[in-house]
Amino acid sequence: MAQPPPLPSPSSATIEDVARLAEVSIATVSRAIHTPEKVATSTRQRVNQAIAITGYTTNAMARSLRMGRSNMILVLAPDIGDPNFSSILVGLENEARAHGYGVLIGHTQNDPERGLDYLKFLNSNQAAGLLLFTGHAPFGHQTMTERLPPTVGLFEPVFNGQISYVGVDDTAGARKAAEHLLSSGHRRIAFIGESRTRLGHQRRRRGFDLALDAARIPATDRLVLEGDGTIESGRLALEQIFMRGEAPTAFMCVNDATAIGVVNGLSARGYELPRDMSVIGFDDIPQATYVHPPLTTIRQPRSAIGRQAMALLLQSLDGPARPPEDILIMPDLVVRGSVTLPPRR
């Protein structure tokens, strides 16, 4: 008859249980786990057996308390639903896992109270490193970075550039987008989504200007409208343009959400796209494929950003402190159906 399997201890086993069973001291158990070469083979075997029987797993909390450092990385995002977020996460996690780190996610909702909760988490050494999504400084801007563990920003700089960040080369990407419109023959182009606060969006504006400068399009021929990067803001900007009565032949939008707003607005006004108007976005979010027409846009190299950001973070965890470093990855143009030649006058 088969023996019933050994009962796993109801509340999980401690290192002491293992030591007792293996008839060694707890120090030896710890060594058998972390520096096996310092333990005699026979002892090691007994310990491993005892671990198997008890089902022991080391209490990460006690471990971190003692070591003053955990092996978790905290990723803080203002909005988990951000379509950029979920795809970047996989890159982050793969890289972390390869180095023995786990990833936890915190959702701040741009609420400083919540940010503070996570700050306490960090101050208790419950995470060894911090990743900040989309340039938000979740603890209020005055936070001293000295109290934080090693930190890397994702997509946008944080804390006035006091820390490293990994992002896309917004200027170059935007320039590619604008050049695509120019080379399709457009001359009157509107830029939708001017921002005073978001650096990335400012850079995209700059890329737009660089391309149009190079093509010698006079500044007076450029329409620039403000927007906060939401679908609604795209629609709104469109209204303003039509109120002024100066319709361009193409729209370059600061991101895909804005572009979707513009596309919807144009369709609602009876324009047939892309015959009557061309629209280009930035980001390549999943929805970009499902708009009609599918959006031509600039693709965020998401998994590359995730991988590099985590790699950078892990370096500063293990290695010595290094000066902040900005890594910009070049994005690519994705041609779909929303850009064609301008209509004949």
Which positions touch a copy of itself (CB under 8 A)? 8, 10, 12, 57-62, 64-65, 72, 79-81, 83, 85-87, 89-90, 93, 97, 102-107, 109, 113-114, 117-118, 120-121, 123-126, 144, 146-147, 260, 264, 287, 290-292
Taking phi over 0 as left and psi of -120 to 50 as alpha, with beta for the rest, 36 belongs to alpha
Give 161's contacts (C-beta < 8 A, 6+ positions apart). 324, 326
Q: Give the C-alpha separation, 205 to 189, whole Å.
A: 12
Q: Which is nearer to a copy of itself, 41 or 142 (CB)?
A: 142
Please report how close the Cβ of residue 4 comes to a copy of itself at its closest, in angstroms.
14
Which one of DNA, a copy of itself, none is in contact with 102 (Cβ closer than 5 to 8 A by kind)? a copy of itself
Q: How far is CA 226 from CA 181, 198, 219, 233, 268, in A?
A: 20, 12, 16, 8, 21
User: Which of the ranges 14-22, 73-81, 107-115, 197-205 carries the binding residues for DNA, by CB under 7 A?
Assistant: 14-22
Please report how close the Cβ of residue 338 comes to a copy of itself at its closest, in angstroms.
14
Which one of DNA, a copy of itself, none is in contact with 42 (Cβ closer than 5 to 8 A by kind)? DNA
Query: In terms of DSSP H, where are the helices of 184-283?
Result: 199-214, 231-244, 256-268
Are 73 and 128 within 8 A, CB to CB?
A: yes
Binding status of residue 334 toward DNA by CB under 7 A: no
Q: Which is nearer to DNA, 99 or 198 (CB)?
A: 99
Written as one string, the DSSP assignment of 48-65 is HHHHHHHT----HHHHHH
Which one of a copy of itself, DNA, none is in contact with 208 (Cβ closer than 5 to 8 A by kind)? none
User: Pairing between strand 297-299 and 332-334?
Assistant: antiparallel
User: Which of the ranges 40-48, 148-156, 199-207, 305-313 carries the binding residues for DNA, by CB under 7 A?
Assistant: 40-48
Which one of DNA, a copy of itself, none is in contact with 184 (Cβ closer than 5 to 8 A by kind)? none
Q: Give the C-alpha separation, 129 to 68, whole Å.
A: 13
The closest of 172, 171, 175 to 183, measured between CA atoms, is 175
Please report how close the Cβ of residue 126 comes to a copy of itself at its closest, in angstroms.
6
Task: DSSP letter for 219, please.
Answer: G
Sign of torsion over alpha carbons 267, 273, 278, 284: positive
Which one of DNA, a copy of itself, none is in contact with 325 (Cβ closer than 5 to 8 A by kind)? none
Per-residue binder mask for DNA (CB under 7 A), 42-81, x = binder: xx------------x-xx--xx-xxxx-------------
Which one of a copy of itself, DNA, none is in contact with 51 (Cβ closer than 5 to 8 A by kind)? none
Please report how close the Cβ of residue 272 comes to a copy of itself at its closest, in angstroms.
13
Burial of residue 210, with CB atoms counted within 10 A of its CB: 0-12 exposed, 13-18 middle, 19 or more buried? middle
Please report how close the Cβ of residue 7 comes to DNA at its closest, in angstroms.
17
Are 155 and 84 within 8 A, CB to CB?
A: yes
Written as one string, the DSSP assignment of 159-202 is GGGTSEEEEE-HHHHHHHHHHHHHHTT--SEEEEEE-SS-HHHH
Please report how close the Cβ of residue 15 comes to DNA at its closest, in angstroms.
3
Q: Which is nearer to a copy of itself, 68 or 218 (CB)?
A: 68
Please report how close the Cβ of residue 89 comes to a copy of itself at its closest, in angstroms.
6
Which one of a copy of itself, DNA, none is in contact with 8 (Cβ closer than 5 to 8 A by kind)? a copy of itself
Please report how close the Cβ of residue 150 comes to DNA at its closest, in angstroms.
18
Binding positions for DNA, rule: CB under 7 A: 11, 14-16, 23-28, 30-31, 33-34, 38-40, 42-43, 56, 58-59, 62-63, 65-68
